[in-house]
Amino acid sequence: MSGVFPAGTKQVTVVFYGDHPSTNIKALHLDDLLLRVDNRPNPPRITGMTTPNYAASGETDVTVTLTGVNLPSGQTSVTLRAPGVMVNDYVGWADAGRKLIGGGSGQNSAAFGAYTFTPGDKFVVTSGPNVILGEYEIAQKDDDRVITLVGDITGPKTGDEQDKITGYIVKAPLAATSVSADGTQVTATFNLAGQPAGYRDIVVEVAGYDPIVWREGFNVINPGPNLINPSFELPEAPEQDCQFTRVELPYSPASDWTLRFWNNYEKPANASPLLNFRDDYWAGQPFPSCPPPERGGHYASTAVYSARGTAQWSQTLAARPGTKYTLSGYFGHSGEYGTHGTKVTLFLLDGDSAAAPIASTVVLSQPLFEDWTFASVTGKITGDVLTVAWEVECFGDSDGPRAVWVDHLVLEADICHEAVFDSDGDGDVDQDDFAFFQTCITGSATTIASLPEYCACLDTNSDEYIDGSDLAIFAQCASGPELPADPLCGR
């Protein structure tokens, strides 16, 4: 629609009105709204991305190219910004309004437990008595309950430090090391060294205009193929004697995992994050047996206090196209009171966290306590990114605690092709594969450790040598050019 405003108009209000004439559920979605004024430059817009929307943490020369409108050279900047960290528990303040304290008591006092401080982070105060609303730079994180601000939030009156303050934390953005723009395209280069995994907002700013924010438009992934902590060793795991001492470290962050939850998994009374080394809230309830030393000697747990809800922990990692991956782990759950159920599922997603599962396995789904249960899920990834996830779904008709325990999560890649002697992966075993086999021959003097990685697949008897015995198996498995190879031959 269009219209003509009287001469001298200095302000225009645009209104969208939605009317729901009945009580049934409805939704209204709006996107790509643009107000254009004749004889004035078009405002900047971002219309798409021509580079991958992800890169591995630690890469130092990552290029992001965006297409759009009105992105002039020398006036366009690009940053990556982690989504804001919500503070779910109430926050009080003290020390002249500079220290923010996570309220509550006992298990609900760690309002800042999930937050990792970075210079330049800000706390946005959104409500509260006797405080000045706005952004305040964070000076430091004192502990899981307290952060200190650079400025004073105190309003005109002296307030009670137990007054409820609400707000959220905005992470310091990562500026591009170089930016070039030509009006319809902007290319930015980033150094991801030291950047943790997780989604980032892409923020594009053009001089004289409000920033353009592409929500979670870029994903920093972990380098594959192995999980960063394959035994789910959280940072600074304490020395523990599982048989006699069950130490509880409430709200220890889940290292390298992204947590999302829905359907009331986290009530306001449950402080975030929901992962501990040990969970000993309920005396007399059964706990899993001590894990053996080869599984790390300790475990992590998560708990929920509401009747229902689902939580999912995931990691997105670099992958090899056409490779089979297996995620495995040990799980147990509490099933308090016998009326509650807890379902645990493992997933492999062929892509980032928005991709569809390529494989899944239900580990536990009974209403009663179950001790350590091993499970694994295997899938063949087609792209260069995969996501591993474990999901907890709690169900039942009454409130009450439930706990899930997890240990020794491992991701393994099977680099060997379905027919192991098909080294080039074209489906047959022919002269091309024999030529590669020859480069792997060690005899009995040297091992395969220094050879190309795929040579290990040709060691059919697992003696770490590629020799005459393996050659004999190759001869049996040869199919010839363009003739499908037997996937079981040599295995």
DSSP-assigned letters across all residues of 412-458: EEE-S-SSTT-TT-SSS-SHHHHHHHHHH--TTTS-GGGS-GGGGGG
Least confident of 365-374, 405-414, 418-427, 472-481: 365-374
Residue 4 falls in which region: left (phi positive, over 0), alpha (psi -120 to 50) or beta: beta
> Measured between alpha carbons, how far is residue 42 from residues 35, 71, 115, 145, 290 in Å?
9, 10, 39, 47, 65
**In 323-401, at which residue ranges do the beta strands (DSSP E only) sit?**
323-333, 341-349, 357-364, 370-381, 385-395
pLDDT of 31: 72
Q: What percent of the chain has pLDDT over 90?
A: 24
According to the per-residue pLDDT averaged within each range, which of 236-240, 241-245, 413-417 is highest? 413-417
Joined together, the tokens standing for residue 438 give 């020859």
pLDDT of 445: 67
Average of per-residue pLDDT across 324-347 = 80
pLDDT band at residue 106 using 50, 70 and 90 as cut-offs: very low
Residue bearing the bigger pLDDT, 488 or 281: 488
Mean pLDDT over the full length of the chain = 80
| Rounded (5°) CA angle 60-410-372 | 150
pLDDT of 223: 87
Residue 458: pLDDT over 70: yes
pLDDT band at residue 306 using 50, 70 and 90 as cut-offs: low
Residue 270: pLDDT over 70: no
HSE toward the beta carbon, residue 293, CA cutoff 13 A = 2
pLDDT of 107: 41
Amino acid at 384: D
Pairing of strands 323-333, 341-349: unpaired
Residue bearing the bigger pLDDT, 279 or 255: 255
pLDDT of 468: 83
Residue 115: pLDDT over 70: yes
pLDDT band at residue 377 using 50, 70 and 90 as cut-offs: very high
Average of per-residue pLDDT across 248-270 = 66
Least confident of 138-142, 150-154, 356-360, 381-385: 150-154
Least confident of 194-198, 332-336, 483-487: 332-336
Q: What is the signed CA dihedral for 356, 200, 386, 272, rounded to 10 degrees?
A: -80
Residue with token string 């325990």: 405
Cβ atoms 390, 345 nearer than 8 A: yes
pLDDT of 188: 98
Residue 72: pLDDT over 90: yes
pLDDT band at residue 477 using 50, 70 and 90 as cut-offs: confident
pLDDT band at residue 108 using 50, 70 and 90 as cut-offs: very low
According to the per-residue pLDDT averaged within each range, which of 23-37, 149-163, 240-254, 300-314 is highest? 300-314
pLDDT of 110: 60
**In 370-401, at which residue ranges do the beta strands (DSSP E only) sit?**
370-381, 385-395
Cβ atoms 221, 258 nearer than 8 A: no
Residue 82: pLDDT over 60: yes
Residue bearing the bigger pLDDT, 236 or 378: 378
- pTM as predicted: 0.72
pLDDT of 336: 57
Class of residue 466 by CB neighbours under 10 A (exposed 0-12, middle 13-18, buried 19+):
buried
Average of per-residue pLDDT across 295-316 = 76
Cβ atoms 364, 373 nearer than 8 A: yes
Residue 54: pLDDT over 80: yes
Pairing of strands 91-94, 99-102: antiparallel
Angle between helical axes of 468-477 and 431-440 (0-180°, round to 10) = 170
Q: What is the signed CA dihedral for 125, 127, 132, 135, rounded to 10 degrees?
A: 20
pLDDT band at residue 271 using 50, 70 and 90 as cut-offs: very low
Q: What are phi and psi of 77, to 5 degrees?
A: -125, 155
pLDDT of 49: 96
pLDDT of 378: 93
HSE toward the beta carbon, residue 246, CA cutoff 13 A = 18
